[in-house]
Amino acid sequence: MLFFPFLKPCPCMLLFLFFTLFYTSTEAYDPLDPFGNITIKWDIREWTPDGYVAVVTMNNFQQYRHISAPGWSVGWTWAKKEVIWQVMGGQTTEQGDCSKFKGNTPHCCKKDPTVVDLLPGTPYNQQIANCCRGGVLSSWAQDPTNAVSAFQVSVGSAGTTNKTVKLPLNFTLKAPGPGYTCGPAKTVTPTKFTTPDKRRVTQALMTWNVTCTYSQFLAQKTPTCCVSLSSFYNDTIVPCPTCSCGCQGNSAQSGSCVDPRAPRLASVVKGAGNKSITPLVQCTSHMCPIRVHWHIKVNYKEYWRVKVTVTNFNYRMNYSDWNLVVQHPNFDNLTQLFSFNYKSINPYGSINDTAMLWGVKFYNDFLNQAGPNGNVQSELLFRKDDSFMFDKGWGFPRRIYFNGDNCVMPPPDAYPWLPNAGSKLEVSLVSYLTLMIASLVVLVLHAYC
């Protein structure tokens, strides 16, 4: 809507505006998961003499974005002078100043407490249902039963009726870094609970919900993955763009990498093995922790076959429960998939061109740290659909995400050509035009949805 007025005066300005708008908007909003969010729900189960006991449940409704170790932390600001007497299935990171209390000391007296999950193996008497997974939260499409996390707080000095209680303010969710923004708490219809034998239904005394959404822009992350391409019809392997995720030898964090031939490799990796989330990558031209390679392998009469390889270049991370999201128009005719799980993702209903792929449990769901075992692979067999061609880079994916992060693609004019394909200019022009039209569609969808 915004840019239409510029249409007549100056097309160049339109283009510029279009690109800046497009880039900022895709970063702040994910067209492949437009309704994705994490809700934090407070169910007051009991009023106590000075406050209440609430079960706080987090549901990850995002299709493919999960929270991996070292896990989530959730914070808020109390509206009054509340304290937390006790937490089950979680703990606050700091106790704060409880010097006013004699004898019975609260668990936390901070005005802005931060709660984290407990680790697996926590004694049974400190657990509640859905707690104690070290803050790991699976994604909705991949593992809905583990897309929920919960803890219970006993709050004191709070209101003791639904008229005197004040909702906490300014919720924050870290995963563990930035990226999520949470809205205000809103009172909603009290949750109903069914007993395990399904013979009785109880309900919360009061329930409020907070909705948190993710933006890669807010996370301010440099890209974390890139895509390389090859095909049986052209010997060229198109590598990840140089400096996709950082440049070698360039300043402190982005430029530090490890040469796999370094004699002290093991000690360098071990020394860096602190509980840090900044990746320690193998030196490559792209410097990405993850590379996804798409190889067009075989052409049959009615089918064609692709090999996908995901390689880990990060010495500091084993990616458990990794996932890929791949967009390609032929996914509506995916016929067979080897050794990966598949689920179609179609937020717009009719367009079935996006797939979520992830590993098979106990076989390749664990992507090992950089090294000889640091890769997983699969083959996809597509039935050729009406638009099928090898020309113009059609066989290559339009977009790839790894663990919810958009991967850097080679520029369309670098895609391997068919031998004797038209001039390079023609190919690149057509690809750019397609890309632009596709981008426009996304933008318009965004503006109207």
* Residue 312 is a binding residue for ligand NAG (CB under 6 A): no
* Residue 77 is a binding residue for ligand NAG (CB under 6 A): yes
* Residue 209 is a binding residue for ligand NAG (CB under 6 A): yes
* Residue 234 is a binding residue for ligand NAG (CB under 6 A): yes
Question: Which lies closer to ligand NAG via its Cβ, residue 57 or residue 378?
Answer: 57
Question: Which lies closer to ligand NAG via its Cβ, residue 107 or residue 392?
Answer: 392
Question: Which lies closer to ligand NAG via its Cβ, residue 20 or residue 93?
Answer: 93
Minimum Å gap between C-beta 186 and ligand NAG is 7
* String marking each residue 100-139 x if it binds ligand NAG according to CB under 6 A: ----------------------------------------
Of 14, 98, 219, 414, the one binding ligand NAG by CB under 6 A? 414
* Residue 248 is a binding residue for ligand NAG (CB under 6 A): no
Stretch that binds ligand NAG, among 48-56, 125-133, 303-311, 327-335 (CB under 6 A): 327-335
Question: Which lies closer to ligand NAG via its Cβ, residue 107 or residue 316?
Answer: 316
Site for ligand NAG in 344-363 (CB under 6 A): 344, 346, 352
Q: Which two tokens stand for residue 35?
A: 């309704």
Minimum Å gap between C-beta 317 and ligand NAG is 6
In three-state form (DSSP H/G/I as H, E/B as E, the rest C), the secondary structure along the chain is CCCHHHCCCCHHHHHHHHHHHHHHHHHHCCCCCCCCCEEEEEEEEEEECCEEEEEEEEEECCCCCCECCCCCEEEEECCCCCEEEEEECEEECCCCCCCCCCCCCCCECCCCCEEEECCCCCCHHHCCCCCCCCCCECCCCCCHHHCEEEEEEEEECCCCCCCCCCCCEEEEEECCCCCEEECCCEEECCCEEECCCCCCEEECCEEEEEEEEECHHHHCCCCCEEEEEEECCEEEEECCCCCCCCCCCCCCCCCCEECCCCCCHHHHHHHCCCCCCCCCEECCCCCCCEEEEEEEEEECCCEEEEEEEEEECECCCCEECCEEEEECHHHHHEEEECCEEEEECCCCCCCCCEEEEEECCCCCCEECCCCCCCEEEEEEEEECCCCCCCHHHCCCCCEEEECCEECECCCHHHCCCCCCCCCHHHHHHHHHHHHHHHHHHHHHHHHHC
Site for ligand NAG in 144-203 (CB under 6 A): 162, 169-170, 187-188
Minimum Å gap between C-beta 69 and ligand NAG is 9
Question: Which lies closer to ligand NAG via its Cβ, residue 162 or residue 267?
Answer: 162
* Residue 39 is a binding residue for ligand NAG (CB under 6 A): yes
Minimum Å gap between C-beta 27 and ligand NAG is 18
Site for ligand NAG in 253-282 (CB under 6 A): 271-272, 274
* Residue 238 is a binding residue for ligand NAG (CB under 6 A): yes
Sites of contact with ligand NAG (CB under 6 A): 35, 37, 39, 41, 57, 59, 61, 77, 162, 169-170, 187-188, 206, 209, 211, 234, 236, 238, 271-272, 274, 316-318, 332-334, 344, 346, 352, 368-369, 383, 385, 414, 416-417, 419
